[in-house]
Structures are given as structure tokens and as C-alpha cells.
């Protein structure tokens, strides 16, 4: 429902236009909520209180002219489109009105209400286009599939799943450790879901205190709480028919989870302190680094909301589980970093690339980008130096994953003279997971901690190697730290 403000001192005209616009429906619901005022002062007050989408403003008012208050009106109701109306055919005033920022300038009496309808609809259309353009400008660049870098099997599968997701408007849940690029995936889904630019509105649910998060999501009415000096639309409203991205939804309070569930079910919401129902037209994409099934089991996340969110679930593997993608990521990131810091570090020696491939990357792709940025800034020439990278022995702890055969850590292999005694990488991985499950007596949470992998990854590995709980695992020759 759009909010329409009509400011005119002709009371009979106000009544006629109010009835006309309130009778217009869209999808079986009223298209407009109409507010009226008979003076400039009352019109400015109504604009501040109701945040109209379109203002129909008479040129001649009892206290001031419409031309005089255009600037104030725009300041009070943001991107509302203002249509000036006058009974006089004055070319100079028309030019002044358009110069002052009026969307259109029409004359009365109106020959046909449909003509006014057309101007109002056009004003709303331009307002939406303007919002979308602002959003694209704010994002700085449109994220495309080419920004997802990797040729590993897991990334190829992820891209296939993204392709399927973009063909529907279903809710999507993106899971993965911090720094894996969940927002990047959300933006790619958004950009490939629509043929034209639409708003992408993101909000980090863990970065805003609970009392303010509700207002950020749903908006608030004037006076809803201390400091609410005017009506403000929320993220769900600003997203229009685009995408709302709820990052770190696993950190949302149970109270807000209940409200979000109702919104997803009813596709409607109310601003804080308001009673007017606003339709949710946007697609919802949520993301979390938490394992929501575990959060549900612990009573920290609503099971009904979890079921509603996981209509489609995409898992982003951590960087340590797709190390073969690191060289490609390094090349891709260096181009972007060089442009950002105005350097030309383009050469990466083989030993430096090997070190980058072996580092544990607990912070995933985000940590890799930060490390590369520091190294590029410190590089004296065009070569990425190993001296500017973290030391291998400094970062990994005793249970941090390492490439097979590297010194230290639970992946360290004993020295052997007979090459035939060295198991294949796949067999070593199978034996290691089996041993860890045996040590933890099948406790998957502690097994994930020992191995340094996520719960979804462990589940996939268990399926892959046929290590169903209760099977007798074969003990492998590598030492494993006890989880107790």
C-alpha cells in the first residue's frame, strides 16, 4: 500500500480525490492510503508524520504557495515525488516548479481522473527506479558469477545449486564459517534472479542491539519510542520487490525470531508502533555461521523458523577444505587489491604460493584477502614476498589442519622408508575421521573440533566413507589428540 498526501484548500476536491484513490485496489487490497491537508503548515506536518510516497500539492494555499514549500516538503519526506497542481496556465511558474524539484506540473480542473491516476503511477514508478539506482550505486559494483572463484568439486557443485535457486523466489539459507563469503553468494543469487536492477538490502543481525533491530527490520512510526521523531520505513519495506539479506540470523533473539516467522508466513508486517499492514514483496535470504540444527537442539533457535528458512540450503565450504582453489583466489584478489591500494604486485613466487596454500586460514577467504592486502602494501616492488606473510609454524595450533606431510600438527606423518606404506590421501582422510570418531565415542561436535571441520562437512565425509556410527573404525598410523 502506497501513502498519498493531497494538500489543497478546496475541501470538496479533497473529498472527491480521497474517495477516488481509496477505491483503487491492487491484488484485492487497497492501493493507496490517503492523507489530506488544507494549508501549507498542515501539509508539512502531515508529510513529516506519514512519509508519503507521492504528494499532490496545490500551488495556491492560504498561508504559503506550493512553490515556496517544495524544498521543505522534500526534506521531510525524503524521496517522495511531488506533483504541483494549479488553476493557472503560467509558463514561467511551470519552469520554476520543475526547477524546484517538482516531479510534474498539472492543471485543474482535471479533465479525467484517469489522467491524474497516470501521473501518480508514473511518479511511483520513477521513485522505485530511483531507489534501485541508488542501491546499485551504493553497492558500487554488481556481483556476478565470475566473483565466485574456484574449480574444486565443492565450488562447482555450489555454482550448480545457485543456478537452480535463481529460478525461484524461495527463501534461501546460506551456511558456512565466518569469512567464507556468504554475502557474496547472496548477492550473486539476487543479481541472477532478476532481469532488471532491484534493491538488495542487507542487515547484520548480530551487529545491532535487539531493541533497535526490530525497528531496522520493520520500520517505526513517529513517537513509537524515545527518539522516533518521524516515521521511518524498515529494511523489509525498502527492499520492495528485491532481496532482504539477513546476515548472522543465528544470533537473532527468540522474540524477534517469532516476529520474523510470522512475517514469513503471512508476507505482511507492521511498523513498530503502527497498525497499518505492509506487504512483504521481497525475497528473503538468510545466512549464519552457526549450525542451526544444534541451536534448535539447545533451545536457542526456533525449530519452526528453521524449517521455514531452510527451504533451500546452500553450504559454503571453508577454505582449508578447498586448498586447490587458493592459487586462483590469490590471482583474483591481487588484481582487486592492486587497484585499491594503487600498487602493481603481480608476481607470486612458487614457494610463496605453496606457503599460502598450506596456511590454516581459520578466517577463510576474508583472512586470505587481509593477509594479501598487507603483503601488497609492504611489498617494495612487483613481487609478493614470503617475508610479509604469516609464518607456517606461528599460526597453526596442535589441532589445526595442515597439508599431509607438513611438520607438526595431527596431520604430520611419521617418516617411512617404504613408499608403499604411505596411504593415499583419501585413505588417510578416511582413517583419520574414523579414529577421531572412535576417540570421541561418536560425538560429532567434538569430532568437528578435533578435525577443524564444520558439521555439514563431517556428515558428508561420513557418508562418503561409509563410516556410519557403530561401525568398527580402522585405526590409522597417525596420532590424534584426545578430545577429553
Least confident of 43-47, 202-206, 263-267, 439-443: 439-443
Strands 172-175 and 312-315: parallel
Return the number of other C-beta atoms located less than 10 Å from residue 452's C-beta.
21
pLDDT at 9 over 60: yes
How many other CB atoms are found less than 10 A from the CB of residue 69?
A: 23
pLDDT at residue 386 above 70? yes
Do residues 159 and 325 lie in contact, with contact meaning Cβ atoms separated by under 8 Å? no
Query: If you average pLDDT over residues 326-341, what whole number do you get?
Result: 92
Same fold, 2-137 and 145-315: yes
SS3 sequence of the chain: CEEEEEECCCHHHHHHHHHHHHCCEECCEECEEEEEECCHHHHHHHHHHHCCCEEEEECECCCCEHHHHHHHHHHHHCCCEEEEEECCCCHHHHHHHHHHCCCEEEECCCCCHHHHHHHHHHHHHHHHHHHHHHHHHHHCCCCCHHHCCCCCHHHHHHHHHHHHHCCCCCCEEEECCCCCCHHHHHHHHHHHHCCCCCCEEEEECCCCCHHHHHHHHHEECCCCCCCCCCCEECHHHHCCCCEEEEECHHHCCHHHHHHHHHHHHHCEEECECCCCEEECCCEEEEEECCCHHHHHHCCCCCHHHHHHHCCEEEECCCHHHCHHHHHHHHHHHHHHHHHHHCCCCCECCHHHHHHHHHCCCCCHHHHHHHHHHHHHHHCCCCECCHHHCCCCCCCCCCCCCCCCCCCCCCCCCCCCCCHHHCCCHHHHHHHHHHHHHHHCCCCHHHHHHHHCCCHHHHHHHHHHHCCCCCCCCCCCCCCCCCCC
Return d(Cα 65, Cα 42) in angstroms, integer: 13
**Which region among 16-25, 176-185, 233-242, 417-426 has the lowest average model confidence (pLDDT)?**
417-426
Q: What is the pLDDT of residue 224?
A: 83
Please tell me the predicted confidence (pLDDT) of residue 460. Answer: 82
Mean local confidence (pLDDT), 31-51: 88
- Fold topology of 2-137: Rossmann fold (3.40.50)
The Cα 329–Cα 364 span in angstroms is 11
Which residue carries 513517529 as its cell?
222
The Cα–Cα gap between 126 and 60 comes to: 26
Do 83 and 57 meet the contact criterion of CB atoms below 8 Å apart?
Answer: yes
**CA 236, CA 154: separation in Å to the nearest integer?**
32
Amino acid 332: pLDDT: 92
What percent of the chain is modeled with pLDDT above 70?
85
CA angle (344, 347, 348) in 5-degree steps:
130
pLDDT the model gives residue 416? 41
* Overall pTM > 0.75: no
Among 160-164, 166-170, 408-412, the least confident range: 408-412
Q: How many CA atoms lie within 13 A of 17 on its CB side?
A: 27
- What's the average model confidence in pLDDT over 175-200? 91
- Report which of residues 274 and 260 the model is more confident about: 260
- CATH number of the domain at 319-388, please? 1.10.8.60
- With the C-alpha atoms ordered 343, 346, 349, 351, is the resulting torsion angle positive or negative? positive
Report domain extents, the chain. Answer: 2-137, 145-315, 319-388, 404-484
Which pLDDT band, with edges at 50, 70 and 90, does 403 fall under? Answer: very low
Classify 411 in phi/psi space as left (phi over 0), alpha (psi -120 to 50) or beta: alpha
Enumerate residues 6+ apart whose C-beta is below 8 A from 34: 4, 5, 6, 17, 18, 21, 22
Q: List the end-to-end C-alpha distance of the chain, in Å, as a whole number.
A: 59
- Residues 151 and 264: beta-carbon distance below 8 Å: no
CATH of 404-484, one of 3.30.460.40, 3.40.190.10, 1.10.10.60, 1.10.730.10: 1.10.10.60
In CATH terms, 145-315 corresponds, of 3.90.600.10, 3.10.200.10, 3.40.50.300, 3.40.50.720, to 3.40.50.300
Amino acid at each position: 500500500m502506497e501513502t498519498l498526501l493531497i494538500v489543497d484548500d478546496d475541501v470538496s476536491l479533497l473529498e472527491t480525490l480521497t474517495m477516488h484513490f481509496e477505491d483503487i485496489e491492487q491484488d484485492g487490497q487497497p492501493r493507496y492510503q490517503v492523507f489530506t491537508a488544507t494549508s501549507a503548515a498542515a501539509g508539512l506536518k502531515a508529510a513529516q508524520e506519514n512519509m508519503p510516497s507521492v504528494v499532490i500539492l496545490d500551488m495556491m494555499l492560504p498561508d504559503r504557495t506550493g512553490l515556496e514549500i517544495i524544498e521543505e516538503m522534500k526534506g521531510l519526506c525524503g524521496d517522495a515525488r511531488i506533483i504541483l497542481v494549479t488553476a493557472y496556465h503560467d509558463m514561467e511558474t511551470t519552469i520554476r516548479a520543475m526547477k524546484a524539484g517538482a516531479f510534474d506540473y498539472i492543471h485543474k480542473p482535471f479533465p479525467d481522473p484517469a489522467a491524474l491516476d497516470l501521473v501518480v503511477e508514473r511518479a511511483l514508478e520513477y521513485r522505485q527506479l530511483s531507489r534501485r539506482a541508488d542501491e546499485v550505486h551504493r553497492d558500487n559494483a554488481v556481483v556476478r558469477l565470475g566473483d565466485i572463484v574456484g574449480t574444486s568439486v565443492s565450488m562447482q557443485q555450489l555454482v550448480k545449486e545457485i543456478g537452480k535457486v535463481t529460478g525461484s523466489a524461495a527463501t534461501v539459507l546460506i551456511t558456512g564459517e565466518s569469512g567464507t563469503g556468504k554475502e557474496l553468494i547472496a548477492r550473486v543469487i539476487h543479481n541472477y534472479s532478476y532481469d532488471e536492477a532491484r534493491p538488495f538490502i542487507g542487515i547484520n543481525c548480530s551487529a545491532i542491539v535487539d531493541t533497535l533491530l526490530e525497528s531496522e527490520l520493520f520500520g517505526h512510526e513517529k513517537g513509537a519510542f524515545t527518539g522516533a521523531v518521524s516515521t521511518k520505513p524498515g529494511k523489509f519495506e525498502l527492499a520492495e520487490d528485491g532481496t532482504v539479506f539477513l546476515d548472522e540470523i543465528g544470533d537473532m533473539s527468540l522474540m524477534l525470531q517469532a516476529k520474523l516467522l510470522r512475517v514469513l508466513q503471512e508476507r505482511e508486517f507492521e511498523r513498530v508502533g503502527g497498525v497499518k499492514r505492509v506487504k512483504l514483496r521481497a525475497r528473503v535470504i538468510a545466512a549464519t555461521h552457526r549450525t542451526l540444527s544444534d541451536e534448535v537442539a539447545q533451545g536457542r533457535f526456533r525449530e519452526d523458523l528453521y524449517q521455514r528458512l531452510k527451504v533451500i540450503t546452500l553450504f559454503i565450504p571453508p577454505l582449508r577444505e578447498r586448498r586447490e582453489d587458493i592459487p586462483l583466489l590469490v590471482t583474483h584478489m591481487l588484481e582487486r587489491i592492486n587497484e585499491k591500494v594503487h600498487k602493481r604486485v603481480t608476481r607470486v613466487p612458487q614457494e610463496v604460493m605453496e606457503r599460502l596454500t598450506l596456511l590454516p586460514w581459520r578466517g577463510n577467504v576474508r583472512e586470505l584477502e587481509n593477509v594479501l592486502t598487507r603483503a601488497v602494501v609492504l611489498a617494495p616492488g612487483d613481487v609478493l614476498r614470503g617475508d610479509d606473510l604469516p609464518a607456517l609454524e606461528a599460526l597453526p595450533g596442535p589441532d589445526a589442519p595442515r597439508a599431509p606431510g607438513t611438520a607438526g600438527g595431527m596431520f604430520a606423518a611419521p617418516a617411512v622408508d617404504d613408499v608403499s606404506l604411505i596411504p593415499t590421501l583419501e585413505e588417510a582422510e578416511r582413517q583419520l575421521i574414523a579414529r577421531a570418531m572412535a576417540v570421541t565415542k561418536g560425538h560429532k561436535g567434538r569430532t568437528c573440533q578435533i578435525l577443524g571441520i564444520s558439521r555439514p562437512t563431517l556428515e558428508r565425509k561420513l557418508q562418503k566413507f561409509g563410516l556410519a556410527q557403530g561401525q568398527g573404525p580402522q585405526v590409522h598410523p597417525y596420532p590424534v589428540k584426545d578430545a577429553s
